[in-house]
């Protein structure tokens, strides 16, 4: 075995981070740690000595023999299942069991069976998928001939033949292909999510081994790194014929790739099965649990503790009773044989009561929760409004465990390209020699017709859109600068071209940007046709021209530019360069100053429009210049140490004194509905952070396009420091500036600022030994840190104003350090928008983990590419967009759909409903079980603490699985407080979920208290009535069986009435289950008390004839009615008063909509309608903005094909705009609650009224002078026409502060009606007095806005 010191140094990064302790010898049962891999071609016996993994994969968990024991073992790892198994064992002990064993085993078996069937079904599909993959056929070279073998039988060291469009069976070293010089093309969408074509090349010495006979004699040995999950690197060496050849990732074909545009190729299997990089990257996704799950586990432990306490109380009571009273009955009621004293009797009584009272933790709770979640998942899958017809993709819930957490999201971390944008680039504008092209409007302001390039150029792409005819005329008249501009675009790239037929060109580009630029040059007469390693062939204005390709100076993220050096047919040598303006303009010749100023102005204009810009330049080279540079480049290329740095220096040397040609502007179109969705989520107090690998300028411009950033923001902070200290200073200055501007805006004094300034920061900003609770103004959860003095923390809490933070990747690396993270979180969370640029996939995940650590908030990550997978897996909820970058993000996600705009329905509709339903379900479930179980507790004081049950044992068995299970399931699956369109119109309805208001410890105790109160009524009312009651014939009714039937009947009726009151949305299933459960109770009870069953099983059915006898007595029904009234009336009274005095947001919405429907015809507008009414957002940018913001071109994140192309090997020929957001709702009751929840900081006393985020044309005088910003909260630019809409205000007779409640529909602008017209048009409501009083708070509760005094519109 190779020891560590013998391993090449370049392999250290691969395995040292996860290095395990070396084995010193001998055989071990555990798999040895592989430190390097040695593979010999065509020698299975040699390779089998190393016991490498076979190519068979197994993702399933069970087989026929192991399913039952393994599945049961897994299920009994759940505490609840183990608890009920323990109870079952107790019930088998006759001395302590008051109940038959079937009362526990029936529900336990039901739960275990349902779970087992679900697990078996899931594993069956895994087996099916595994078998499908393992049984694929592959051609393997065995003993000199190609034979078909199943993938599962392929071994390490085999040589495999792949044909076009086939999947790669294992990780292969490419030996040869049918393409010249061992080239082949692959698609890696299944591996890394990228859909663009990639090129791989074999080692030159094996490239000619194309014949199976030659390959059969190939006996080379590969020594390489051990299996790992790094997709972008491979280190190894090929030893053959006493020579060694270095191997890199460019020589490898990885499992999961597909061979494209290549007839056939041959490869040597290096890694197989679980050792392949694909399988190494498919590690188990960590199990995600919701906050309700965690709370429920805590509550179950509390309930178990409560159960033990009740058992102890009753056991003590038994001991006292047996000692004081029971001893008097020993003569005719002796103790059972094992019991010889009162203490032992109490001990047995304790366990008996644990069995009887175990239903406070019902086993049906867990299976009911899973059924409800499954139903919610199907509702998401079936939602036609989340179906994308364009790509024929429906929304998919890929998990059933997180649905209710969708209603509690506070932070969304989003990718940019492909998530917010379409990742479809279009050539939009350009600047050539100081002249800008692309801004075209006719005299009426309408967009002219798109240009038809076909008459001018038969090779033009028919899908290309451009409108400025001046640019085409400039090309036609032969303008030299224009020709040189498009010549550069046709030559300076690494695009692959495939010509399927004459004139039918297909471009394969590394990035959509490159493809857009080459396509633009193609349409304007400079057509890239084909390339070889040494030439580029183009068609220029109908004339075929072949350039000698001397060098490609490839792109990377540091250089931010690429260049090519070519020799034209006349022998002149030129360097063509394109790159980000920030790096290219500083490399121009001084004579370009005037042109550079003009072009910079154009770049600023393009950047302000949200376009991705790129500067173009060239340089003439003499033969001497070329020869001298070529030699230095050759030396740098062959260097063994610091090769990249030497090449970068060589590139930089020649990319100087260039002549500016112009600039291009490419548009990455926003997806439809992105600005509206972001606006709506922002109104729901959801904070959206954009984490992108793109450059800062591009990300910022997209931020403006989608209205995350606006020119009306108070300030935008840019963090760009390169050292820890500089980043800390910038963050500190940003916080100081926020507090200063906030105080200035609020008219406050400067004491807070002075206190902040005087605070002595040391290290990460703390006074020595000082600690504090830091809570940001824009956040709702407490940040447990010790970063700031308490005065500074208080100032950050009360920040008003809209701020944005933009931070680059290198600054973020410092901000994420342990001593800086609290400062970064505090600063970022005080901002309304955060954009992180140039971040790596790992940094995306680190940002998510940081917020999860410091803010007790639910996070969601959404992305569409393989680089988003780590972020998606780190967040509480991961969402994958099925877009242009493969399906890796979708496969790693919890939910997936095709468009970002569907996020609003996922959260505001499905998420809110799921949270609401689950909370109502849990509240009712705990209530009904405490009401059921606590009757036994009270009965214990009247039966000598003998563990006698109140109910018939069959009633105990069926109560949770028949009589009360279906109604609560129907409520948990179908219930809703407001319709889906109202959830979208009133995004503030989402906030109770973020604050966890509907189910928490307080709500739990309220439910428990109600259940205990109900149990008291259900026991003592029948006990008091029946103790002295008699039948009509004088026979007393005070017997145990009559009491049991009366109490059980009253219980079923009370809990059925209660769920009828709790249900807010009735469907046919609710009616059927609620009333059907009551009917089934009577049916089953009469059957169980019948003479027939008693005759068959006389020892099992003791209540013979009791139901008929009891329910014929009028006093029994009066008792049931009295108990029901005493249980229900206080609940009704409490709810009426609560609705009247302090209505919830959903109550207010329902009532307001009811009033509006009575007073006027419903407008019928919805969010979707608003989009359709104003045109498609996808048609382009959403308006312009002021300011000078420069955008730069964003290349692909990985190295281009430059080095491969120039290697000397022959290549084959081949809707509404939203300008403002609602300000912070400092005066709303929800915000007050949020502040109390954080750190008991008193709410801001600012007198500013934050505008209601809604369509407010009917608000009249209430809004006429409500603030300095009289435009729409969700309004567009000044140029957007105002939509007329007449709404009737709701004027409250008893209030001096009238307020209207309108939906938060994004509009171009909100019309504020004049005071007199609004007042005259107002309709008065003849509502009950309570509602007229409570509606005064309607606007405040919905939008965090107090009604402003009526005033004139002067």
434, 595 in Cβ contact below 8 A?
yes
| CA 137 to mean position of chain CA atoms | 38
Q: Identify the pLDDT of residue 444.
A: 58
Residue 878: per-residue pLDDT: 92
pLDDT at 198: 79
Residue 746: pLDDT band with limits 50, 70, 90: low
pLDDT, mean of residues 167-187: 88
340-350: pLDDT as tens digits: 778 888 888 89
At residue 1319, the pLDDT reads 35
pLDDT digits (tens, 9 = 90+) for 748-772: 444 444 444 444 333 333 333 333 3
CA distance 767 to 890: 46
Q: At residue 25, does pLDDT exceed 90?
A: no
CA distance 865 to 880: 8
Could you give the angle at the alpha carbon of 1337 between the alpha carbons of 1333 and 1338, nearest 5°?
105
User: What is the C-alpha R_g of the chain?
Assistant: 37
Sign of CA pseudo-dihedral 132, 134, 139, 145:
negative
Distance CA 956, CA 106 (A): 12
Neighbours of 477 (CB within 10 A): 8
Instruction: Please measure the distance between the N-terminal and C-terminal CA atoms of the chain and give it in whole angstroms.
Output: 90
- The mean-pLDDT minimum among 89-98, 256-265, 987-996, 1004-1013 falls in 89-98
Lowest mean pLDDT among 76-80, 118-122, 671-675, 1243-1247: 1243-1247
Sorted by sequence, the CB contacts under 8 Å of residue 1281 that are 6+ apart come out as 1308
Cβ-based neighbours of 1012, under 8 Å, separated by 6 or more: 930, 931, 934
Rounded Cα distance, 1055 and 1128, in Å: 9
Give residues with Cβ within 8 angstroms of 159, minimum separation 6: 41, 42, 140, 141, 175, 215, 218, 266, 267, 268, 269
- What whole-number distance in Å separates Cα of residue 646 and Cα of residue 329? 103
- Which of 896, 900, 840 has the alpha carbon at shortest distance from 867? 840
pLDDT in the model for residue 1230 = 52
Closest CA to 551 of 628, 633, 481: 633
Spatial CA neighbour of 998 closest among 1330, 1309, 1346, 1233: 1233
User: Can you give the pLDDT at residue 581?
Assistant: 85
Backbone phi and psi for residue 57, each to the nearest 5 degrees, phi listed first: -110, 150
Task: Give dist(CA 384, CA 388) in Å, integer.
Answer: 9
pLDDT > 80? residue 1229: no
Top-confidence residue, 734 or 1311: 734
pLDDT, position 791:
47
pLDDT-derived band of residue 695, with 50, 70 and 90 as boundaries?
A: low
Give the pLDDT score at 446: 64
C-alpha distances (whole Å) from 1204 to each of 200, 447, 494, 1131, 1144 are 9, 44, 10, 77, 66
Mean pLDDT of 444-468: 81
Phi, psi at 945, each rounded to 5°: 55, 40
Of the chain, the percentage scoring pLDDT greater than 70 comes to 75
pLDDT digits (tens, 9 = 90+) for 1102-1160: 777 788 888 888 999 999 999 999 999 999 999 889 888 888 888 888 888 788 777 76
Kindly name the residue from 415, 513, 694, 773 that is annotated as catalytic. Answer: 415
pLDDT of amino acid 893 = 85
- CA–CA distance, 1323 with 1317 (Å, rounded to integer): 12
Q: How far is residue 1102 from each of residues 318, 937, 1057, 1315, measured CA to CA in Å?
A: 26, 23, 29, 78
pLDDT above 60 (res 1168): no
Distance CA 649, CA 651 (A): 5
Cα separation of 549 and 1044, whole Å?
A: 96
Q: Which residue has the higher pLDDT, 612 or 1179?
A: 612
- CA–CA gap between residue 1066 and residue 971 (Å, rounded): 9
Report the relative pairing of strands 833-837 and 687-691 from DSSP bridges.
parallel
Asked if 353 and 310 touch (Cβ cutoff 8 Å), the reply is yes
Q: What is the pLDDT of residue 431?
A: 95
* H/E segment holding residue 526: strand 526-532
Amino acid 704: pLDDT: 83
Shortest CA distance to 295 belongs to which of 398, 369, 355, 374?
369
DSSP assigned state of 162: E
Bigger pLDDT: 859 vs 1353: 859
The segment with the largest mean pLDDT, out of 303-312, 455-464, 760-769, is: 303-312
Q: Is 415 a catalytic residue?
A: yes
Q: Are 1000 and 295 in contact (CB under 8 A)?
A: yes
Q: What is the pLDDT of residue 1105?
A: 76
User: For 1303-1313, what is each residue's pLDDT tens digit?
Assistant: 454 433 333 33
Task: Specify whether the CB–CB gap between 611 and 428 falls below 8 A.
Answer: yes
Mean pLDDT of 252-278: 90
Residue of 902, 851, 906, 840 whose CA lies nearest to 875: 851
CA 410 from centre of chain: 11
Q: Which residue has the higher pLDDT, 1037 or 846?
A: 846
- CB 1038 within 8 Å of CB 957: no
The SS3 assignment for 544 reads: strand
Structure-model confidence comparison of residues 1022 and 503, the more confident one = 1022
CB atoms within 10 A of CB 596: 22
On whether the CB atoms of residues 39 and 221 are closer than 8 A, the answer is: yes
Please spell the DSSP secondary structure of 223-254, one letter per residue.
EEPPP---TT---EEEEETTEEEEE-GGGEE-
The pLDDT score that the predictor gives to residue 1074 is 94
**Of 591-595, 910-914, 1053-1057, 1140-1144, which gets the smallest average pLDDT?**
1140-1144
Q: Give residue-wise pLDDT tens across range 1306-1342.
A: 433 333 333 333 333 333 333 333 433 344 444 444 4
Q: Around 169, how many Cα atoms within 13 Å sit in the side-chain half-sphere?
A: 31
Residue 980: CB partners within 8 Å, gap ≥ 6? 905, 909
- Is the pLDDT confidence value at 4 over 50? no
pLDDT, tens digit, for every residue of 549-589? 999 888 776 788 899 999 999 999 999 999 988 889 999 99
The share of the chain scoring above pLDDT 90, in percent, equals: 33
pLDDT of residue 566: 95
What would the DSSP string read from start to end of 251-310? Answer: GEE-TT-EEES-SEEEEEEEE-GGGSHHHHT-PPPPP---HHHHHHHHHHHHHHHHHHHH
Question: Is 0.85 surpassed by the pTM of this model?
Answer: no
Residue 90 has pLDDT above 60, yes or no: yes
Please enumerate in sequence order all residues whose Cβ is within 8 A of that of 1019, keeping only pairs 6 or more positions apart, or say none: 935, 938, 939, 950, 1047
Range with the lowest mean pLDDT among 224-228, 400-404, 863-867, 1287-1291? 1287-1291
Question: For 405-433, what is the mean pLDDT?
Answer: 88
The angle, 0 to 180 degrees and rounded to 10, between the axes of the packed helices 696-705 and 593-608 is 40
Q: What's the rounded mean pLDDT across residues 704-715? A: 83
Q: Which residue has the higher pLDDT, 260 or 1161?
A: 260
The predicted structure's pLDDT at residue 885: 58
User: Which residues, listed in sequence order, are joined to residue 836 by a DSSP beta bridge?
Assistant: 691, 807
What are the tens digits of pLDDT across the range 1034-1065?
778 878 889 999 999 999 999 999 999 999 88
Looking from the CA of 531 toward its CB, the CA atoms found within 13 Å total 27
* Backbone φ and ψ of 1021, nearest 5°: -65, -55
Determine contact, residues 306/1005, Cβ cutoff 8 Å. no
Binning pLDDT at 50, 70 and 90, where does residue 1256 land?
very low
802-816 average pLDDT score = 89
Per-chain mean pLDDT for the chain: 77
Which of 860, 839, 832 has its CA nearest to residue 848? 860
What Å distances lie between residue 1090 and 990, 1080, 1086, 1096, CA to CA? 52, 15, 6, 11
Q: What DSSP assignment string belongs to 620-675?
A: EE-HHHHHHHHHHHHHHHH-SSSHHHHHHHHHHHHS-SBEEEEEEEEEEEEPTTHH
Q: What 3-state DSSP class applies to 1227?
A: coil
Instruction: Return d(Cα 702, Cα 1192) in angstroms, integer.
Output: 12
What's the average model confidence in pLDDT over 46-58? 89
d(CA 973, CA 380): 12
């Amino acid at each position: 075995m190779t020891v560590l010191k013998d391993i090449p140094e370049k392999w250290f990064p691969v395995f040292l981070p996860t290095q395990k302790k070396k084995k010193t010898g001998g055989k071990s049962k555990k798999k040895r740690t592989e430190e390097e891999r040695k593979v010999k071609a065509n020698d299975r016996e040699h390779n089998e000595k190393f016991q490498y993994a076979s190519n068979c994969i197994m993702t399933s968990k069970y087989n026929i023999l192991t399913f039952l024991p393994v599945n049961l073992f897994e299920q009994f790892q759940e505490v609840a299942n183990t608890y009920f198994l323990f109870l079952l064992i107790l019930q088998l002990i006759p001395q302590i069991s008051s109940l038959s064993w079937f009362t526990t085993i029936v529900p336990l078996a039901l739960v275990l069976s349902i779970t087992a069937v679900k697990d078996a079904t899931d594993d069956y599909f895994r087996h099916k998928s595994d078998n499908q993959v393992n049984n694929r056929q592959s051609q393997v070279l065995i003993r000199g001939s190609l034979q078909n073998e199943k993938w599962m039988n392929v071994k390490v060291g085999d040589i495999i033949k792949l044909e076009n469009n086939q999947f790669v069976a294992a990780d292969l070293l490419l030996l040869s292909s049918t393409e010249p010089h061992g080239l082949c093309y692959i698609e890696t969408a299944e591996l890394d999510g990228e859909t663009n074509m990639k090129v791989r090349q074999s080692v030159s010495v094996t490239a000619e081994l194309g014949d199976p006979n030659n390959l059969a004699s190939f006996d080379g040995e590969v020594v390489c790194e051990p299996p790992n999950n790094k997709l972008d690197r491979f280190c190894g060496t090929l030893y053959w014929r006493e020579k060694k050849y270095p191997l890199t990732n460019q020589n490898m074909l990885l499992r999961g790739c597909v061979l494209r545009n290549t007839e056939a190729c041959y490869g040597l299997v290096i890694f197989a099965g679980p050792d392949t990089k694909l399988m190494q990257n498919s590690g188990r996704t960590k199990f995600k649990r919701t906050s309700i799950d965690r709370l429920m586990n805590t509550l179950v432990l509390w309930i178990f503790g409560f159960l033990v306490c009740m058992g102890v109380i009753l056991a003590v009571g038994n001991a006292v009773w047996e000692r004081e009273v029971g001893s008097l009955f020993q003569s005719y009621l002796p103790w059972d044989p094992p019991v010889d004293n009162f203490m032992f009797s109490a001990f047995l009584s304790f366990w008996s009561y644990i069995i009887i009272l175990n239903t406070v933790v019902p086993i049906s709770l867990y299976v009911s929760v899973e059924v409800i979640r499954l139903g919610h998942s199907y509702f998401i899958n079936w939602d036609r409004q989340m179906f994308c017809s364009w790509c024929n993709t429906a929304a998919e819930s890929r998990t059933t465990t997180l649905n209710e957490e969708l209603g509690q999201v506070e932070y969304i971390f989003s990718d940019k390209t492909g998530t917010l944008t379409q990742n479809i680039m279009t050539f939009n504008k350009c600047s050539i020699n100081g002249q800008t092209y692309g801004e075209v409007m006719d005299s009426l302001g309408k967009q002219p017709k798109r240009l038809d390039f076909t008459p001018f150029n038969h090779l033009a792409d028919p899908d290309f859109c451009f409108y400025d005819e001046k640019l085409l005329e400039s090309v036609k008249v032969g303008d030299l600068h224009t020709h040189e501009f498009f010549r550069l675009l046709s030559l300076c790239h690494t695009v692959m071209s495939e010509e399927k037929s004459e004139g039918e060109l297909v471009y394969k580009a590394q990035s959509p940007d490159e493809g857009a630029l080459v396509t633009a040059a193609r349409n304007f007469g400079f057509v890239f046709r084909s390339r070889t390693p040494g030439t580029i062939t183009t068609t220029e204005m109908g004339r075929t021209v072949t350039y000698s390709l001397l060098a490609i100076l490839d792109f990377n993220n540091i250089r931010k530019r690429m260049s090519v050096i070519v020799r034209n047919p006349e022998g002149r040598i030129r360097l063509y360069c394109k790159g980000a303006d920030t790096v290219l303009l500083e490399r121009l010749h001084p004579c370009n100053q005037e042109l550079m100023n003009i072009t910079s102005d154009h770049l600023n204009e393009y950047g302000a429009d949200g376009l991705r810009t790129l500067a173009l330049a060239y340089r003439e080279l003499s033969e001497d210049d070329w020869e001298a540079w070529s030699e230095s480049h050759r030396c740098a290329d062959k260097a063994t140490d610091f090769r990249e740095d030497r090449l970068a220096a060589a590139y930089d040397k020649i990319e100087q004194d260039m002549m500016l040609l112009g600039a291009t502007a490419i548009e990455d179109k926003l997806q439809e509905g992105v600005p509206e969705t972001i606006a709506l989520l922002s109104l729901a107090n959801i904070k959206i952070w954009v984490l992108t690998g793109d450059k800062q300028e591009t990300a910022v411009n997209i931020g403006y396009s989608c209205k995350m950033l606006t020119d009306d923001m108070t300030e935008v902070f840019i963090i760009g420091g390169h050292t820890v200290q500089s980043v800390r200073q910038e963050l500190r200055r940003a916080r100081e500036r926020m507090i200063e501007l906030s105080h200035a805006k609020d008219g406050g004094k400067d004491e807070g600022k002075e206190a902040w300034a005087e605070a002595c920061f040391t290290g990460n900003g703390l006074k020595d030994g000082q600690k504090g609770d830091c809570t940001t103004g824009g956040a709702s959860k407490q940040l447990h840190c010790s970063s700031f003095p308490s005065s500074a923390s208080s100032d950050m809490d009360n920040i008003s104003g809209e701020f944005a933070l933009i931070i680059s990747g290198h600054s973020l690396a410092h901000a994420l350090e342990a001593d800086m993270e609290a400062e970064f979180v505090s600063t970022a969370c005080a901002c309304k928008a955060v954009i992180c640029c140039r971040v790596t996939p790992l940094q995306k995940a680190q940002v998510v983990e940081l917020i999860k650590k410091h803010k007790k908030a639910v996070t969601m990550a959404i992305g569409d590419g393989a680089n988003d997978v780590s972020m998606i897996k780190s967040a509480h909820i991961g969402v994958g967009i099925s877009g242009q970058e493969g399906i890796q993000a979708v496969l790693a996600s919890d939910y997936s759909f095709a468009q970002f705009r569907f996020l609003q329905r996922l959260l505001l509709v499905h998420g809110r409903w799921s949270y609401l339903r689950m909370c109502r379900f849990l509240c009712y479930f705990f209530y009904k079980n405490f009401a059921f179980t606590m009757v036994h507790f009270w009965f214990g004081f009247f039966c000598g603490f003998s563990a006698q049950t109140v109910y018939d044992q069959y009633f105990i068995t069926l109560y949770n699985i028949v009589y009360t299970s279906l109604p609560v399931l129907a409520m948990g699956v179908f219930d809703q407080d407001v319709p889906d369109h109202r959830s979208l119109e009133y995004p503030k309805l989402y906030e109770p979920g973020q604050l966890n208001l509907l189910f928490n410890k307080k709500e739990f105790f309220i439910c428990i208290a109600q259940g205990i109160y109900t149990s008291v009524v259900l026991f003592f009312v029948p006990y008091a009535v029946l103790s002295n009651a008699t039948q009509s014939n004088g026979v007393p009714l005070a017997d145990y069986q009559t009491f049991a039937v009366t109490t059980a009947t009253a219980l079923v009726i009370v809990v059925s009435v209660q769920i009828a009151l709790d249900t807010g949305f009735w469907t046919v299933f609710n009616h059927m289950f609620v009333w059907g459960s009551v009917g089934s109770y009577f049916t089953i009870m009469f059957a169980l008390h019948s003479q027939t069953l008693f005759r068959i099983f006389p020892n099992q059915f003791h209540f013979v004839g009791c139901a008929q006898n009891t329910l014929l007595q009028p006093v029994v029904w009066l008792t049931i009615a009295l108990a029901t009234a005493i249980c229900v009336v206080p609940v009704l009274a409490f709810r009426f008063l609560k609705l009247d005095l302090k209505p919830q947001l959903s109550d207010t919405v329902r009532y307001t909509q009811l009033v509006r429907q009575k007073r006027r015809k419903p407008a019928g507008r919805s969010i979707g309608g608003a989009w359709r009414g104003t045109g498609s957002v996808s048609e382009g940018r959403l308006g312009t903005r002021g300011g000078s913001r420069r955008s730069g071109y964003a290349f692909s994140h990985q190295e281009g094909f430059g080095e491969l192309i120039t290697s000397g090997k022959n290549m084959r020929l081949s809707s509404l705009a939203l300008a403002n957001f609602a300000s912070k709702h400092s005066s709303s009751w929800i915000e007050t609650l949020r502040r109390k929840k954080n750190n008991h900081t008193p709410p801001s006393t600012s007198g500013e009224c934050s505008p209601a985020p809604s369509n407010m044309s009917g608000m009249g005088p209430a809004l006429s002078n409500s603030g300095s910003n009289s435009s729409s909260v969700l309004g567009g630019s000044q140029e957007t026409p105002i939509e007329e809409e007449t709404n009737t205000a709701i004027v409250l007779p008893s209030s001096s502060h009238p307020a209207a409640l309108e939906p938060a529909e994004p509009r171009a602008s909100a019309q504020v009606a004049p005071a007199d017209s609004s007042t005259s048009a107002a309709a008065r409501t003849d509502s009950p007095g309570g509602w007229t009083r409570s509606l005064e708070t309607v606007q405040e509760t919905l939008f965090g806005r107090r009604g402003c005094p009526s005033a004139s519109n002067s």
